[in-house]
Structure 1
Amino acid sequence: MLRRQLLTLVALASTALAPLPSLAQTAAPVPVEQLVEKVQIPYESFTLPNGLRVIVHTDRKAPIVAVSVWYDVGSKHEPSGKTGFAHLFEHLMFNGSENVPGDFFAPLREVGATDFNGTTNFDRTNYFETVPRPALDRALFLESDRMGWLLGAIDQAVLDEQRGVVQNEKRQGDNQPYGLVFYKLLEELLGGTPYGHNVIGSMADLDAASLEDVKNWFRQHYGPNNAVLVLAGDVDVNEARPIVEKYFGSIQAGPPTQAPQVAVPTLSAAKDVTMQDRVAATLILRSWAVPGLNDPDAVPLDVLASVLGGLASSRLDNLLVREEKTAVQVSAGVQSLSQLGMFLVQAVVRPGVDPAVVAKRLDEIVADLIEHGPTADEVQRVVTTNVSSRISGLEAVGGFGGKAVALASGELYSDNPAFYKQQLEAMAKVTPAQVQAVGQKWLSRPALTITVVPGERDSYQEAQTVAAAPAAAAPREAVQSTRGDLPSVAAIGDLDFPEVTRSRLSNGVELVYAHRAAVPVTRVLMSFDAGAAADPDGKLGTQSLMLSLLKEGTTSLDSTAIAEAGERLGATIGTGNSADRTYLTVATPSPNLAGSLDLFADVVRNPAFEPSEVERLRASLLTSIASELTNPAGIANRAMPPLLYGSASPYAKLAAGSGDPVAVGQLTRDELVAFHQAWIRPEKAKVFVVSDLPLEEVKAALEARFRNWRGQGPAGAKAFNAAPAQVTPRIVLLDRPNSPQSLILAGQMTALNPRDELLTYQMGNQVLGSGFLSRLNMELRENKHWSYGAGGGYNWLEHAVPYTINAPVQADRTGDSIKAIQQQVQEFLSTNGVTAAELSREVNGTTRELAGRFETSSAVLSAMQQNDVWGRPDNFYDTVAQRYRAMTGPELDAAMRNALDPNKFVWVVVGDAATVKPQLESLGLPVEVVAAAAIGQ
C-alpha cells in the first residue's frame, strides 16, 4: 500500500512509413490559459463540532462516490525508535474495527468498491474507496468505525500479522536494483530533520513495536480534528451533511497533531557517497533540499526541474542522451512535501562511459541553466504539459490522483481545497526570470551526490523475527458491537456502457468510437496485429528497438522537435506491445486534436530510422535489457516461457523480454525498416477512440491524415502451427545470492480455447487467485505473513491460455510458501471449492463495481479493444451483470477443475540458492539450479 520512490532504470522500448504532408502545416495549440480555465473542481465544505473537515464535490457523470479520508500523520511525526509506525498503522486500520471485525476489504468488495486502498507518506496517511452511490452509507460507517472504534479490535495477533506483512513489503522494495538508494539519500540529505528516515521504517523499529506503543500512536493522531473527509461524485452537500453527522458526529476529538519544526537544511560542503549494488549501469543521483509546496519558490522550482530533466525535450535529455550519448536515461524533479522538498537529478551512465565525465557535464548543464535561465518556450511547454496532465487526471473522482485527492491535499497541506488551481495559475504566470532566480538561490548550494556502481551490495539488515513461524493465534475475544449492523445497500443498477460506433476510413482501417464528455480529452489507440510473437526468429528485440525509434525522428522532424511539438500541444504519444498486439497511442486535450494528430501520423507513417539514432537507441535498449536481467521479475519472466510454451510456439519469444542482447547488437537499419513495413501498416491496424468530440469530427481528423496510407511490400505473418508444449513439472531455481526475498513463479498451460467465453473461469479464479481476498493472497499475506502479496490468474492470449501464480516471499519461507500454494490449489480443486459466501461476495462485487471500473475514458478504451480482440459484442458490458448473477458455485468449481491440474505446475524460483535449495528438496519435484546471471546470456 505504501507508494515509495524507488530509483530504477526505465525500459526505453517504445512502438512505428508512407509519406505525410509536411508538419509545417500543423495546427497551432490553443493558449495555455484556455486549458487552465478548464480545470475546475467546484466544492462546498463544512466542519463538524468535533473538528472533522468535510469537503463535497458534485459530479453526476456516473452513479459513484469517492470517499477519501486524510489524516494529518505521516513518518515526519515519528520519534526516534518508532520509525515506520505511521505506515504500520495504515495496515492495521485495514484489519477490522470493533463493529466490523475482519479485513475491511471484504465489506468493500461486497459493495463493488473500486480504487480502494491506503497510502502513507512523510506528511499524511490516507484511505480511499470509490463506491456505488447506494453504498455510501456503508463506506462512511466503515471509515468512521476505524476512526472512532478501532483499538478494541487490535490485539497482539493482528499486530504480529501486519508487522510481518510490512516487513515483506520492505524486503520486496529493497530486493530491487537500486532498492537501497532512497534510504541513503534521506540519511545524508535530510538527516537530523523529521524527514530524515524512510516512510517504511527500519526492521529494528518494526521488531520493537509493542501493542501498547501502537495503541498510543493511534490515540495521539487519529482523531477527527486531525482528519479531512472528501466526498466527490454523485452526491451534494445537502445529501452529505446528515449522513456524515450520523456516522462521524459522536467521535470525540483527540489531541491535535503538531507539525514538527522543520528548516530546509543546507550541507556545509558538497558530499559524495558511493554505493555498490547488483545493477547493470552506474547511477548518478544529485540532490538538494529545497522548500516545501507552500513556499512561493515551489512552482518555479518545479518548472526548473522540468526544463532540466522532466520534459521529453529537457536539457539533460537533449545533451546527455541525444547529442553526447553518454547517458541512457536522465531525469530531474522535485519531491515536493509539506514542509520541505527534494530537488533530484539523476543520470544512468551509458556502459563504457566514464561516470566522472557524465557527472562533470551534469554540473555544467545545471550551471548553464542557472546562469542563463530557461527560454520562454521551455517554460510554456512545461506549463502546457502539466495542465494537460492535470486535466486528464481529474476525470476520476477518487483513487490515487483524482478530484478527491486534489481537494484533500489542498485542505490538509495548505488550508485551501482549491490549492491545485492556485498552483496551476501560478505556473501559467511564471517567468523565465523567476525560474532562473530560484535556481540561483537553491541549486548554487552544496549538493549531495550518490553514485551507485555495479558490484556486490552491502549486507542487509534483516528482521530479528524472520525465522519464526506465525504463532498460533489465541482465540480473540469478540468485541461487543455498539453501533449495530453494517448499513444495508440498496439495489445498484447495471452498467450503461458508452455506446460504441463502428466506421471505416477510406483506406479500409476500421474505426471504433465511444463518446465520453467528462473531460475535454481525446484518446486514440491504434492496434496492430503484431506483438512480441511477431519478432523474427533469431532476431528477438527487433520490435522493441523499432518501437523505441518511432518518436526519435521522422523524415521531417528530429527527436527533439518531436518532443517539443508534443509538449506545446500537451499531447502524449505512447508505444507498447503485448504478446499478440502492438499499440501506438496519442492522448491530447481535445482543442489540440488537429495538431496532435499531425504529429501522431508523422510518427506512425514516416519514421526516419536515422543511423545515428539507431545506434543511440540500440545502446539504450541493451542497457535496459541488462537492467531487466538484474531484476527478480525480469529474470523469472525470461525463464518461464520455454517451460510453459515449448520452443516451437511463437510465445516462446516472450522469454526474450525486451530483447536478446546478441540479436539487438546485430540488428541493421534495413531490418528495422522491413519490420515496420511488414507490421505497422493499415491492413493490420484498427483504431479505437474515446473522445468528448463527436464521431464525425474525430473521423474527419483521422481521415485527413491517414486516407492515403498504404502498406508497402508483403505483410508479416505469425505461424501458430504448433500447440504449446509444457515441460514436465519441475522446479528451476535461479540462484541470486544474498536476496532477502525469493520470487516464486508457477505456471501451467491450460487446454482452454481463447475464442471461447471464459467468464466462469475468470470468476472462479477471483476466489482462488485474483484480488486481495483471494485464497492465495490471504494465505501467504494475511495468514502466514510471508509475503506482501500473492496471486494467480489466466493470461488470455489470442492462441493460448496459460495460468500463472506470482508470489514474492521471504527467503527463509520459500519452500513452505510453495507447500502452502500447492495445498490451497489442491484443496480448491478438490474438496474445498467455491463457498456460498465467496460466490455471493464475488458476484456482488463484480456486478456492483462496473460503474466505477469504467469511470475513465482510458478504462473504456481498454475495454473496447479487449472486446474486439476476444470477439465479444460491443455491448458486452451492458449485459455481463446478468451473466454473473446466473453463475453458481458448482459451475465455477467445474470450470476451474476443467482448466487446472494441481500436479501440472512448473516452478521458477529466483532467490539465494544457499538458503532456498534445501527448502525445495523435500517438495517431491526435481530441482534444477541455474545461475541467475546466466539467464539472457
Structure 2
Amino acid sequence: MLSSKNMLVAASAAALLCGCATATVSTDAPKAATQAGELALPSVSIDFEKFVLPNGLTLIVHEDHKAPIVAVSVWYHVGSKDEKPGKTGFAHLFEHLMFNGSENYPGEFFAPFEQVGATSMNGTTWLDRTNYFENVPSTAVDLALWMESDRMGHLLGAIDQATLDEQRGVVQNEKRQGENQPYGMVWERLQRASFPEGHPYRWETIGSMEDLNRASLEDVKNWFGEYYGAANTTLVLAGDITPEQARAKVMRYFGDIPAGPPVARREQWVAARTESTRDRMQDRVAQTRIYKSWNVPPFASEDADLLDLAAKVLGGGRTSRLYQRLVVDESLVDNVSVSAEPFELASLFLVTADVKSDADPKRVEAIIDEEMQTFFEQGPSVEELNRAKTSIFAGLVRGAEEIGGFGGKADLLASCQTYTGDPACFETSLDTTRKASPEAVRKAARTWLAQGDYTLTVSPYPSFETVASELDRSAGPPQVDNFPSLGFPALQRAELSNGMQVVLAERHDMPLVEMRLQFDAGYAADASGFGLGTASFTMAMLDEGSEGLQAREIAERFEDLGAQFSADSGLDTSEADLSALRARLPETLALFAEVVRNPAFREDDLERLRGQWLASIAQEKSEPMGLALRNLPPLLYGEGHPYAMPFSGSGTEESITALSADDLRRFHQTWIRPDEATLIVAGDVSMAELKPLLEKSLGDWTAPAQAAPLKSIPDVAAQAKPRVFLMDRPGAQQTVILAGQLAPSSKAENSLQIQTMNSILGGVFTARINMNLREDKHWAYGAYSFMPGALGQRPYLFYAPVQTDKTAPAIKELLGEIRDYIGSKPATEAELDKIKAKDVRSLPGKFETLSAVAGAVQSIVTYDRPDDYIDTIKQRTEAQTLSQIRAAAQQIITPDQLTWLIVGDLSTIEKPVRALKLGDVILLDAEGLPQP
C-alpha cells in the first residue's frame, strides 16, 4: 500500500498552489499475514492528484476511463454541528435552497442535468458536512462545474422571501414525513440523551419546526456567507477526465469565488459517559425496539476502526454473536444489529434490537449486556475477526466500483479530505483493520463502551486571494451539444446440459462477478395452489440451511469468500442473486449451487423466519405506505387474481401462520427448477471460463418429471366508476394519497412511449405533479406517478404524501393534473424533448455497476426483448413523436375509473375528502376489510 505525500509547489502569483498526492488504483494481490490476527487481504488504493487553488478551494482528481462519465462531488465543511441552539436546521435548509436556482440560472437546478442525462444526482446534509454530487457525461463537465460554481459564488441574489418560504415548507414536510414513520422520533431523543449541554451533536440535522419558522432572510444569508466560501470546500472530479483538464476547468469556473471568512473548528469531543441513563417513549410501532448507544472516538481514529470490527463481530450479520444468541438460539428478537456510526467530533456505537411481541425486553437487554461483557473479557476469535475484516474489505471494493454516488471513489476521497485533510485516509483505516489483533479489538471495546472534554484552539488563518476570471456568467451555463455514446457489453448466450439458459455480459474493469438465477415463479405462482407469500418465503429460506449446511455455516462461508447472497421474488419471477470476488468464483459457485438446489427447510429455521416474517407484516401495517401497498392491489385486480396481493409479497398473517415445511418443499420442487431457469451473469469472466464452472455446479441439476406449470394472468376490466377507500391512522401528521388503475403489460409494443408519457406527468423530479405539489404548493416532500414492471397488466399508481390539513386540496390538484394531461393541457413538444434528452444522455451513466448491467439484461430476458435492446434504445427513444405520447396518455389514463386509497387521520380528513365527491366512499379497517 502506497501512502500519499503532500508537496507544496511554488508558483507565480497567478498560478495554482498545488499539493499533489498520488496513490495506485488497485486491489493488489494479498500479502502474507505478518502478526497475530492480521488477515492476508489485498491493499486498496485510489489514484488521485490534489490541488489547492489560490482562493483556498481544494481540488482532488481521480482519472478513470472505464465509462465516458465524470463524478462531480462538492463537499462543504459545514453541517448541523456548526449551528447554534435556537437556529437549528440552517445547514439542511441551505441544501434545499441551493437546488432552487442561482443569480445566473434562476430555474430548477435539476433541469439542465436532466437534459444531459446526469445520474446519481443528489445533495445531503449531516452533522459535519453538506455535499452535492452528480455523474455527468464527460462532455457535460463544463455544464456541471458552471452550475456548481454559480450556486457557490452567485447564490444570495437569487434567494428572496418567497424562495425561503417555499423551501422552508418543503423541509418542514420532509420533517413531517420522517416523523410520521415508525421510530421516526428516535434520533432526536437519542442525540439529546447521548451528548451533554453545549455539545453540537445534541440536535437533529433537520432542525426544529420552531427554529425553521423563525429563520429570517437575513439569518440564512449570513449563514451562507459564513460557511460557503471556497476555502471551506472540497471538490472531487472522478472519472473520464485528466488532472490537467480538471485543474484548468476548475480554475476557470471557481477561481474567482472568494475564500470566505475563517471558520472556527471545534475540537474532537467524545463526551464519554460514566453512568447509565434510561429513557422511554411511545410511538405508533408494531413492536418494541431497544437502542443502546455509547459515545466513542471519531471518524478515522484507530480505535474507531477497531470498534467497527467489534460491531461486526457482535451484531454485523447473521453469523454475529448477538444474532445467533437472540434470533437463532433464544428467538427473542426478529432482528438485531450493531454499528459504529462515525462522525467528525465523536462517534456513536449503537445496538438496535427488535423485540418479539411475546418476549421480555428486560431479558433481551440482559443478554446484550452478557454478550458485551464476554466480549470485553475474551475478545473476538481469529475466525470471527477475519470474517469481519473480509466483510469490510469486500464492502469497500464494491463501493469503489462506482466513481460517484454514496460510497463511490469520489465520496471516499471527499470525506477523507474534509474530515482529515488526507484524501487517502481510508487506506490507513483499512491497514488498521488488516493488522488488528483480537486483543487490540477487545481492548478498544473494553476502553470505549464509555469518556472527554472540549477545547477550542485558534490558529493563524492562511492568506487567500481570488484570481481574475474572464468568464461571462451573464451568458448562462455552457451549452452541451455533444454526448458520449453508450458502451454496453454484447450478450453471449449458452445452454447447460440440463437445459438451463445462460446469458453473459462480459466486463473486466473490477474483479467482481454478479449473477442472477431467475425462475419463472414470483408472487403470481402463489395462485397455483399455494398460500399468499409462499414464493417470497421459499426464496428467503434458501440460505436458512441446506441439506449439508446449517444457516450459520452458510453465512460464514459466504462471508469468508467475500461474497453476497440474496434470494427474493417479484410479481412474475423469483431469483437467487450472487455477488462474488473473481478470485474465489469456483468455491463461491459451489456454495451458491448447494444453497439454491438443496434447501433443507428445517422446522426450527422455518419457525425462526416465520416469527420475523410476521413481525415484518406487522411493521407494514404500522406504516402509512405499507398499509396502502398491502391493500390497493386487491382493490385494483379483484379477488382471485394472481396479482391481488400485498405488493411486498409478504402475504398475510393467516397464510404465513399456516405455511408448512412441506409447502415450501412442494413450491421449490414445482417452480425452482433448472429447465425453467435463466442464469444472468455480468462481470470479470469469459464464457469459456464460466460454462465449465456452471456445468460442474449446476449442470447436473435435473428437473422434476412433471411438466413445468403455467401461470395464468388474466386481464381485468376497467372500473365502471371511481372508488374511494379511506383507512384511519389517528394522529398522523401526513396523509398518504394513492390513486391507481391498470396499464398494459411491460411487453406492450408501445411500452417505451408509455414510460415517456408517465415521465412527463409524474415520473421525474421536474414532472408536472411534483412541480405542483412540492415546488409550487410545498404541501409534499415529493409526489410522483409510477408503473412497476409486470408480465400482466401493470398497476399505474399516483402517489402523494401530503401534510394532513392539505389532503383535500392536494387530491383536487392531483386529479386536476391528471385530467389536464388528457384534456386541455396535453404533453408538449418541449416536455417530450426534455424527457428524450434526459433518457438518452443518462444512458452512459446508467450502467456503471455490474448490478445495473445485470438488471438491464434481466429486463431483456424477462420481457422477451432483443439482445440489442440497450444498444438500440437511444435511436428508439429519439424517434418518439408527440402524437405517440399523447396517444399513450389517451390509451391509459382514465381519471373517472381511478381507485383511490387514502391513509390518514380520518377525524381531520374524512369530511373534506367526502366533500370532493370523487366517488363512492368506503372505510377500510387495518386488515383492509370494509367497515359497516
CA distance in 2, matches of 1:265, 1:927: 59
After superposition, where does 1:554-593 map in structure 2 within 5 Å? Answer: 554-593=546-585
Deviation sequence 1:863-922 (CA, Å, 0-9, x none): 000011112111111111112222222321122112211222111011000111122012
Consecutive unaligned residues in structure 1, runs of 5 or more: 1-28, 447-479
Q: 1:211 aligns with which of 193, 210, 217?
A: 217
Q: CA deviation at 1:683?
A: 1.9
Matched, 1:305 2:296: no
After superposition, where does 1:883-902 map in structure 2 within 5 Å? Answer: 883-902=876-895
Contact 2:313 2:385 in 1 (8 A): yes
Contact 2:272 2:450 in 1 (8 A): no
Q: 1:732 aligns with which of 718, 725, 729?
A: 725
Q: CA deviation at 1:538?
A: 6.4
Deviation sequence 1:66-104 (CA, Å, 0-9, x none): 000000000000111111110000000000000111111
CA distance in 1, matches of 2:339, 2:746: 47
CA distance in 2, matches of 1:721, 1:114: 35
Matched, 1:126 2:131: yes
Tell me, what secondary structure is at the counterpart of 1:263? coil
Contact 1:644 1:748 in 2 (8 A): yes
After superposition, where does 1:59-458 map in structure 2 within 5 Å? Answer: 59-192=64-197, 193-443=199-449
Q: CA deviation at 1:543?
A: 2.2
Contact 2:593 2:698 in 1 (8 A): yes
Tell me, what secondary structure is at the counterpart of 2:599? coil
Contact 1:579 1:654 in 2 (8 A): no
Quick one: which amino acid aligns to residue 521 of structure 2? A
2:504 maps to which residue? 513
CA distance in 2, matches of 1:718, 1:207: 59
Q: CA deviation at 1:199?
A: 0.8
Q: CA deviation at 1:155?
A: 0.5
CA distance in 1, matches of 2:216, 2:842: 38
Contact 1:736 1:932 in 2 (8 A): no
Quick one: which amino acid aligns to residue 164 of structure 2? L
Matched, 1:643 2:614: no
Deviation sequence 1:615-652 (CA, Å, 0-9, x none): 11111111111111111111001110122111132111
2:811 maps to which residue? 818
Tell me, what secondary structure is at the counterpart of 1:874? coil
Q: CA deviation at 1:684?
A: 2.0
Contact 1:646 1:726 in 2 (8 A): no
Contact 1:194 1:262 in 2 (8 A): no
Q: 1:870 aligns with which of 831, 840, 863?
A: 863
Contact 1:112 1:131 in 2 (8 A): yes
CA distance in 2, matches of 1:550, 1:320: 21
CA distance in 2, matches of 1:361, 1:445: 24
Q: 2:747 aligns with which of 749, 754, 757?
A: 754
CA distance in 1, matches of 2:40, 2:136: 30
Deviation sequence 1:18-55 (CA, Å, 0-9, x none): xxxxxxxxxxx997999853633100111110000000
Deviation sequence 1:170-205 (CA, Å, 0-9, x none): 111111111111111011012421011111111111
CA distance in 1, matches of 2:554, 2:63: 39
Tell me, what secondary structure is at the counterpart of 1:79? coil
Tell me, what secondary structure is at the counterpart of 1:845? helix
Contact 1:910 1:932 in 2 (8 A): no
Tell me, what secondary structure is at the counterpart of 2:339? strand
Q: 1:278 to 1:311 in 2, by over 3 A?
A: same
1:681 maps to which residue? 673
Deviation sequence 1:206-254 (CA, Å, 0-9, x none): 1111111111110000001000000000001111111111100111110
Tell me, what secondary structure is at the counterpart of 1:337? coil
If asked which structure has higher relative contact order (CA below 8 Å, sep 6+), I would say: 1
1:705 maps to which residue? 697
Q: 1:752 to 1:358 in 2, by over 3 A?
A: closer
Q: 1:801 aligns with which of 781, 794, 799?
A: 794
Deviation sequence 1:148-174 (CA, Å, 0-9, x none): 000000011111111111111111111
Quick one: which amino acid aligns to residue 422 of structure 2? N
CA distance in 2, matches of 1:804, 1:168: 21
Deviation sequence 1:573-607 (CA, Å, 0-9, x none): 01111100111011011111112111111110111
Q: CA deviation at 1:714?
A: 3.5
CA distance in 2, matches of 1:624, 1:59: 42
Q: CA deviation at 1:726?
A: 4.8
CA distance in 1, matches of 2:816, 2:616: 38
Tell me, what secondary structure is at the counterpart of 1:799? coil
Quick one: which amino acid aligns to residue 225 of structure 2? R
Contact 1:735 1:929 in 2 (8 A): no
After superposition, where does 1:36-51 map in structure 2 within 5 Å? Answer: 36-37=41-42, 39-51=44-56
Matched, 1:671 2:676: no
2:606 maps to which residue? 614
Matched, 1:501 2:501: no
Contact 2:74 2:235 in 1 (8 A): yes
Deviation sequence 1:817-856 (CA, Å, 0-9, x none): 1111111111111121222322222111111110001111
Q: 1:94 to 1:828 in 2, by over 3 A?
A: same
Q: CA RMSD in A?
A: 2.0
CA distance in 2, matches of 1:189, 1:30: 41
Larger displacement relative to structure 2 (676-685 or 151-160) = 676-685
Deviation sequence 1:102-147 (CA, Å, 0-9, x none): 1110011111111111000001000111111111011000000000
Contact 2:539 2:575 in 1 (8 A): no
Tell me, what secondary structure is at the counterpart of 1:331? strand
Quick one: which amino acid aligns to residue 367 of structure 2? R
Q: 1:445 to 1:625 in 2, by over 3 A?
A: farther
CA distance in 1, matches of 2:688, 2:575: 23
2:712 maps to which residue? 720
Contact 1:224 1:254 in 2 (8 A): yes
Consecutive unaligned residues in structure 2, runs of 5 or more: 1-29, 453-470
Contact 1:645 1:726 in 2 (8 A): no
Tell me, what secondary structure is at the counterpart of 1:546? helix
Quick one: which amino acid aligns to residue 610 of structure 2? R
Tell me, what secondary structure is at the counterpart of 1:574? strand
CA distance in 2, matches of 1:39, 1:878: 33
Matched, 1:597 2:601: no
Q: 2:542 aligns with which of 535, 540, 550?
A: 550
CA distance in 2, matches of 1:645, 1:704: 43
Matched, 1:490 2:495: no
Tell me, what secondary structure is at the counterpart of 1:100? coil
CA distance in 1, matches of 2:655, 2:377: 45
Q: CA deviation at 1:752?
A: 5.8
Quick one: which amino acid aligns to residue 212 of structure 1? E
Q: 1:781 to 1:696 in 2, by over 3 A?
A: same
CA distance in 1, matches of 2:348, 2:508: 37
Quick one: which amino acid aligns to residue 685 of structure 2? L
Q: 1:648 to 1:534 in 2, by over 3 A?
A: same
Q: 2:777 aligns with which of 781, 784, 787?
A: 784
Q: CA deviation at 1:484?
A: 1.7
Tell me, what secondary structure is at the counterpart of 2:131? strand
Tell me, what secondary structure is at the counterpart of 2:682? strand
CA distance in 1, matches of 2:473, 2:895: 45
TM superposition score normalised by structure 2: 0.92
1:467 maps to which residue? none
